[in-house]
Amino acid sequence: MLYLIAYYLPALLCGIHVVRTGRELYWLWIFVIAGPLGAAIYFIAIIAPELMGGRTARTVGKAARKALDPERDYRAAMRALEDTPTIGNRMKLAQAAAALGRWDDSEAQWAQCVTGHWAEDPAILMGHANALLELSRWDEALKRLEQMKALGREGETPSVVLAFARAYEGLGRNTEADEAYRFAADRVPGLESGARYVAFMAKTGRREDAEIGMGEIERRLAKIAGPLRGEARVWRDMAAKALGR
């Protein structure tokens, strides 16, 4: 009897916390099915960030919740759009679809945003361009990026230049792609721009330059905090794969 109490007590306490704080009730089913393991996941995802506070704790909690229920933000965005069909809510749905890799869905939402009064909104143009890039629709993506460039400074940021580089590469315009990648590589935060440039150089036969870029990626990766290293490692692995490692 004492063993059973000890076994289910953590799940029971977490269940009480779920009810009192108005959390999603699917947690209760997780406690029933997984017992102490479910309680441990709940503690890491929900309770620990509340107790600890701070950016790192919030990051860990968000990552745990995303791993447990990756479609949570998408469902919430869908409900919000159904309740209030505004441009802002449609943008959130497009972003949530992109986070899940649902690029066809994301592109369709962005395409509905980039009309009428919002046809020259930089955030919408960039969101649509990125979705088109992921779908390898290079010509259409380049047109969106050229619309951004025509707006002035909004179309000259490093992130936009990186998108131009991807479009140029996809269209086989390698000289323009190289210039854009070189500009973006040291200016866009994170490892994506550097990793894409390494992959581009490897693809175009510049092995020695690509190896130098790979060394810089490894150096920067080592300096990234542990909780944030997972996403950065994805880009490191992409560059390494392009080099055949």
pLDDT for the residue numbered 69:
59
How is the chain split among helix, strand and coil, in percent rounded to 5? 80, 0, 20
**What value does the CA radius of gyration of the chain take, rounded to a whole number of Å?**
22
Q: How far apart are CA 42 and CA 195, in angstroms?
A: 35
Instruction: Output the DSSP codes for 94-160.
Output: HHHHHHTT-HHHHHHHHHHHSSGGGTT-HHHHHHHHHHHHHTT-HHHHHHHHHHHHHTSGGGGSHHH
Cα–Cα distance for residue pair 228/103, rounded to 1 Å: 24
- Domains defined along the chain, listed by start: 2-68 (no CATH), 70-113 (no CATH), 119-242 (1.25.40.10)
Question: Measured between alpha carbons, how far is 128 from 101 in angstroms, rounded to an integer?
Answer: 14
Residue 163: what residue type?
A: A
Encode the chain (245 residues) as per-residue pLDDT tens digits. 555 555 556 777 767 777 666 666 667 767 677 777 767 776 666 666 555 554 444 555 555 555 555 688 899 999 999 999 999 999 999 999 999 999 999 999 999 999 888 888 999 999 999 999 999 999 999 999 999 999 887 778 999 999 999 999 999 999 999 999 999 998 998 899 999 999 999 999 999 999 999 999 999 988 887 766 778 899 999 999 999 98
